[in-house]
Amino acid sequence: MPKSVTWLSESEIIEKLKARPRVQGPLFVYSSQAGGWTDHVLGGLVGIDDHGFHRGDGVFEALRGVKRKPYLLRAHLERLKLSAQRIALEIPEDINDLENILQQGLEKFPNEHTLVRLYVTRGAGGFSTSPRECLGSHLFIVISPFAAPAPDKYAQGVRIGKSAVPVKSGIFAITKSLNYLPNVLMKAESLERGLDFTVNFDSQGGLAESSTENIVVLRQDGVLCHPPLAGILRGCTMMRLFELVEKAGIVPTEREAVIREADVLKAQALLMVGTTLDVLPVREYEGKAYPLHPLAARLRALIQDDQSASAHI
């Protein structure tokens, strides 16, 4: 017998969506379409005709809320603006207004330490690839509880490997767009291999980045370096880390260094850096073991002290 499919009313659809299983804990959602905050996940529903959904046509950011204050907000908003400009996408809120909207949500959220995501989609249109058919862009802000990696990851370090997923190139490497399929494949790859992360290399053999994290290398010569920004996402935490290291004079640095796999294998230390990680030491790359370097804990403390200071500004 053919399966009988029910025709649902709008109210029945909403009730079914309310009852669906959820992975996340409490959420606050701001929608520029609705013009306000809600504590229900349905407040962030995106229509199937939104180009952000069916074409990945949009940009986003993720940042930390520390004691109900956004950490590195200006850096993240600047990157959001640049990403939007590169794809000719208008952000439907003034940046100063956006800061105020976000702060209102953080002040009411039940947790002091949060993860904030900002999404800008092209908006509702047809189902072609033409951006001109869209009626106007949409902004969503999502606040959820922050969960740091397990303490043993910092105490023992993480295991990483070389990714088989090709690096993004050109504008796609430096734009934080909603099209994250390569990043998803990298994360799936690491899970399948029993690793914490994988990192990829460009066509010339230069180290690039991980799925949602930057990688920083303390080379054999004692210089702390990161890959060229033309081929990776400009990590806000990574850039702030280098500013702090250089200001404190902790170790010599080299920005935008070409780092080959041979350099990785000979390095004193490898460090994963990102919004949700701060600074996380690597204990193994493709079977090569790295002793836990004291610099990792020192740099993590540097970022965390900066977060605490920023939370009181």
Look up the CATH number of the domain holding residue 64: 3.30.470.10
Q: What is the pLDDT of residue 310?
A: 82
- Flag whether pLDDT at 1 surpasses 80: no
Percent of the chain with pLDDT over 70: 99
Overall average pLDDT of the 280-291 stretch: 97
* Nearest CA-CA partner of 133 in 189, 206, 49: 49
Overall average pLDDT of the 106-132 stretch: 97
| pTM of the entire predicted model | 0.94
- Flag whether pLDDT at 312 surpasses 80: no
Which of 145, 169, 184 terminates a domain? The answer is 145
- Flag whether pLDDT at 4 surpasses 90: no
Question: Does 160 lie in the same domain as 141?
Answer: no
313: amino acid identity, one letter: I
Question: Does 207 lie in the same domain as 105?
Answer: no
Question: Does 128 lie in the same domain as 218?
Answer: no
279: amino acid identity, one letter: V
pLDDT-derived band at 311 (thresholds 50, 70, 90) equals: low
Question: Does 197 lie in the same domain as 96?
Answer: no
Q: What is the pLDDT of residue 259?
A: 98
Question: Does 301 lie in the same domain as 284?
Answer: yes
Domain assignment of residue 7, yes or no: no
Question: Does 98 lie in the same domain as 168?
Answer: no
Which of 93, 117, 145 terminates a domain? The answer is 145
> Quick check: 285 and 265 in contact, CB under 8 A?
yes
pLDDT-derived band at 246 (thresholds 50, 70, 90) equals: very high
pLDDT digits (tens, 9 = 90+) for 14-27: 888 888 888 877 89
pLDDT digits (tens, 9 = 90+) for 166-221: 999 999 999 999 999 999 999 999 999 999 999 999 999 999 999 999 999 999 99
Question: Does 136 lie in the same domain as 170?
Answer: no
Alpha helices in 34-180 (DSSP H): 51-54, 73-86, 95-108, 151-156, 171-174
* Residue-range definition of the domain harbouring residue 158: 151-310
Question: Does 72 lie in the same domain as 136?
Answer: yes
Q: What is the pLDDT of residue 5?
A: 86
Angle at 167 between CA 166 and CA 170, to 5 degrees: 130
* Nearest CA-CA partner of 231 in 262, 205, 195: 205
Alpha helices in the chain (DSSP H): 10-18, 51-54, 73-86, 95-108, 151-156, 171-174, 181-192, 236-248, 261-266, 294-310
Domain count, the chain: 2
Question: Does 133 lie in the same domain as 175?
Answer: no
pLDDT-derived band at 142 (thresholds 50, 70, 90) equals: very high
Write the CATH number for 161. 3.20.10.10
Question: Does 300 lie in the same domain as 159?
Answer: yes
Q: What is the pLDDT of residue 29?
A: 96
Give me the chain's average pLDDT, please. 95
Question: Does 215 lie in the same domain as 303?
Answer: yes
Domain assignment of residue 99, yes or no: yes
Which of 145, 173, 204 terminates a domain? The answer is 145
